[in-house]
């Protein structure tokens, strides 16, 4: 017998038993896996590791190098396919997120000292984000929800980049374009470095004069990227993410077809992240409310068809959302369920009924034997829950 991570399982192998899984889905654990589709189903069901009987392997397994060869014909990707579990991906995702913060800080410094941005590390990071999203988008998606109130400018651009990657993957966009999209998103607000702090961080409504100053950040973002040697999609995103379909946006007042699909995607993601962000002066809006506001902006401001697809891929209860179940258990959504959006996998660790931490449980709400359901989204502050404790201890997802 040999234990294997499910990502290494190949068609033809004989699975003796499941040795590790996230959910509580009971699967027929013994038998041959004959197709890649059935392996994908195991991954989707939360199976992490299996025990195989090598003596019973039906066909010679294909060497790993050959498996990764690009097929001659273009295959339509399954937007939900995951090659790794979210837990397996989490450490890599955290490293990428930290790298992104360091890079952003360096870029801010460079611009302030009159230097251009070194684009190459940003492209490399964007490519890293994309690979992580393709392995399992839930890990980075989870990190976009772990915000610090005072790090908005930094985290907003990183989050927009990650969400753009997830969105683009969902739309089956080619990988080299996804890298351009995520690079542009990482730097879309870099021009804000030239916006005075009192305007940038003003909690209340901006005066007309202040708003005019604010609008300039998009012009600066475009300039900075062009001066740093970027062209095309990334520059369009930086310069036009505040343009609106009816021409009421800024800074150029572009409208309709003048605004590309890529820029339309960026404008949706940008507003979504801004609305759901925790700020020093406001708490983050629930995703469902943010979706409602974006919907109200269709078709005048946003592209309705793209928005529907964005909601589909992010989910009504995105990964990382804190929720309360009808059993009064409180936990985080750790895996979305595209087929049944109200039945994700939830990692519970707190009892609202007894106001205390509990043992950590992975509850798959789609499992028919689980008599529990998602009641509502909640805020950590409602229960004095210390989420940092869970993040730091890598208990999640």
Comparing CB distances to Fe ion, the nearer of 242 and 324 is 242
Footprint on residues 189-218 left by Fe ion (CB under 5 A)? 189
Q: Which is nearer to Fe ion, 1 or 293 (CB)?
A: 293
**Which residues, in sequence order, are bridge partners of residue 324?**
330, 376
Least distance from Fe ion to the Cβ atom of residue 192, Å: 7
**Which lies closer to Fe ion via its Cβ, residue 169 or residue 188?**
188
Q: Give the number of C-alpha atoms closer than 13 A to the C-alpha of residue 138, restricted to the C-beta side.
A: 30
Nearer to Fe ion, 189 or 243 (CB): 189
- Cβ proximity of 160 and 269 under 8 Å: yes
Binding mask 38-77 for Fe ion (x = CB under 5 A): ----------------------------------------
How near is the Cβ of 297 to Fe ion at its closest, in Å?
16
Give the three-class secondary structure for 77: coil
d(CA 393, CA 397): 11
- What residues between 164 and 193 interact with Fe ion by CB under 5 A? 189
User: Smallest distance, Å, CB 238 to Fe ion?
Assistant: 9
Residues 295-334 contacting Fe ion, CB under 5 A: none
What is the SS3 assignment for 216? Answer: helix
Judged by CB under 5 A, the chain residues 9 through 28 that form the site for Fe ion are none
236 binds Fe ion (CB under 5 A): no
Smallest distance, Fe ion to C-beta of residue 191, A? 8
The minimum distance between CB 194 and Fe ion, in angstroms, equals 12
At 394, list the tokens: 């890598």
Assigned token pair, 157: 């651009």
Residues 6+ apart with CB under 8 A from 95: none
Q: Which residues 6+ apart lie within 8 Å of 57 measured at CB?
A: 12, 13, 14
The answer to whether the CB of 290 falls within 8 A of the CB of 310 is no
Name which of 52, 130, 43, 129 is nearest 87 in CA terms.
43
To Fe ion, the closest distance from the beta carbon of 291 in angstroms equals 20
Residue 19 dihedral angles phi and psi, to the nearest 5°: -105, -20
User: How distant, in Å, are the alpha carbons of 245, 302, 322 from that of 368?
Assistant: 44, 38, 22
Contact 83, 134 (CB under 8 A): yes
Q: Which residues contact 197 (CB under 8 A, 6 or more apart)?
A: none
Task: Please tell me the distance from the alpha carbon of residue 182 to that of residue 358, in angstroms, as a whole number.
Answer: 39
Shortest Å distance, C-beta 188 to Fe ion: 6
Task: Output 107 or 374, the one with its CB closest to Fe ion.
Answer: 107
Cα gap 49→6, rounded to integer Å:
5
CB nearer to Fe ion: pick between 155 and 189: 189
Q: How far is the CB of 217 from Fe ion (least distance, A)?
A: 6
**Shortest CB 274 distance to Fe ion, Å:** 8
The CB-of-249 to Fe ion minimum distance in angstroms stands at 11
Lookup: tokens for 140 = 């980075």
The residue among 50 and 160 lying less far from Fe ion, judged by its C-beta, is: 160
Nearer of residues 249 and 397 to Fe ion, judged by Cβ: 249
Number of residues that bind Fe ion (CB under 5 A): 1
What is d(CA 70, CA 73) in angstroms, rounded to the nearest whole number? 8
Sole residue written with tokens 């895996």 = 335
Residue nearest to Fe ion (CB): 189
Please identify, using beta-carbon distances, which residue of 49 and 278 lies nearer to Fe ion: 278
**Nearer residue to Fe ion within complex by CB, 138 or 189:** 189
Binding residues for Fe ion, rule: CB under 5 A, are 189
């Amino acid at each position: 017998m040999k234990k294997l991570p499910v990502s290494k399982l190949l068609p033809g192998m004989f699975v003796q038993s499941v040795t590790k899984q996230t959910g509580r889905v009971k699967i027929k654990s013994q038998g041959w896996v004959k197709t890649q589709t059935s392996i994908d189903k195991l991954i989707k069901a939360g199976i992490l590791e299996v025990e195989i009987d090598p003596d019973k392997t039906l066909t010679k397994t294909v060497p790993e190098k050959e498996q990764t060869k690009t097929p001659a014909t273009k295959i339509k990707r399954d937007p939900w396919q995951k090659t790794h579990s979210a837990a397996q991906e989490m450490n890599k995702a955290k490293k990428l997120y930290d790298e992104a913060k360091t890079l952003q800080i360096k870029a801010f410094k460079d611009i302030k000292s009159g230097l251009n941005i070194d684009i190459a590390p940003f492209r490399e990071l964007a490519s890293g984000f994309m690979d992580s999203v393709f392995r399992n988008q839930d890990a980075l998606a989870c990190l976009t929800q772990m915000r610090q109130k005072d790090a908005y400018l930094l985290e907003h651009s990183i989050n927009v980049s990650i969400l753009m990657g997830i969105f683009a993957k969902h739309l089956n966009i080619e990988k080299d374009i996804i890298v351009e999209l995520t690079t542009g998103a990482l730097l879309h607000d870099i021009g804000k470095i030239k916006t005075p702090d009192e305007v940038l961080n003003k909690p209340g409504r901006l005066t007309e004069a202040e708003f005019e100053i604010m609008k300039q950040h998009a012009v600066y973002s475009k300039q900075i990227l062009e001066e740093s040697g970027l062209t095309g999609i990334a520059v369009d995103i930086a310069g036009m993410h505040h343009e609106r379909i009816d021409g009421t946006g800024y800074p150029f007042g572009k409208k309709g077809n003048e605004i590309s699909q890529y820029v339309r995607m960026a404008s949706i993601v940008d507003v979504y992240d801004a609305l759901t962000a925790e700020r020093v002066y406001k708490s983050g809006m629930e995703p469902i409310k943010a979706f409602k506001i974006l919907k109200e902006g269709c078709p005048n401001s946003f592209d309705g068809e793209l928005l529907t697809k964005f909601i589909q891929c992010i989910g009504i209860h995105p990964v990382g959302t804190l929720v309360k179940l009808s059993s009064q258990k409180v936990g985080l959504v750790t895996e979305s369920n595209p087929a049944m959006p109200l039945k994700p996998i939830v990692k519970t660790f707190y009892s609202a009924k007894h106001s205390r931490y509990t043992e950590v449980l992975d509850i798959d709400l789609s499992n028919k034997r689980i008599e529990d359901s998602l009641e509502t989204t909640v805020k950590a502050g409602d229960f004095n829950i210390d989420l940092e404790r869970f993040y730091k201890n890598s208990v999640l997802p």
